[in-house]
Amino acid sequence: DGKCVFCRIARREEPGTALLPCQYEDLVCFRDRKPGAPHHYLVVPVQHLGNCKTLKTEHIPLVKRMMEVGKAVLQQNNFNDLNDVRMGFHWPPFCSISHLHLHVLAPASQLGFLSRLYYRTNSYWFIT
């Protein structure tokens, strides 16, 4: 999709967005433009997939790999307390971009007041 910013990032057509090392060719990872924590990354499939509401049982391996990438990028950036991490998806209509993307935030204990609300575990708008 030429209009989808995450598709353009995955195709390396957004020069302002640096991709981080990723062990899977079908996924990309980059820093969130508006970080909610000291470490805030997005893990995005290269192939355009809708939001998390479009996920089906066959997508479980994809989501597990997305989480694996999130943990790996945290460790590559010297964050090793994987018990202080929040990962999840914004539930429509609360996602700003309709391309599946996993938020990886750490340390979760350092989320600011608004970020604690915006990325609240299993809330009406954010699911882990």
CA angle 107-109-113, nearest 5°? Answer: 110
Q: Report CA torsion sign: 125, 120, 67, 3.
A: positive
Active-site hit among 40, 90, 99, 101: 101
Nearest to 50 by CA among 94, 92, 88: 92
Question: Is position 101 annotated as part of the catalytic site?
Answer: yes
Catalytically active residues are 101
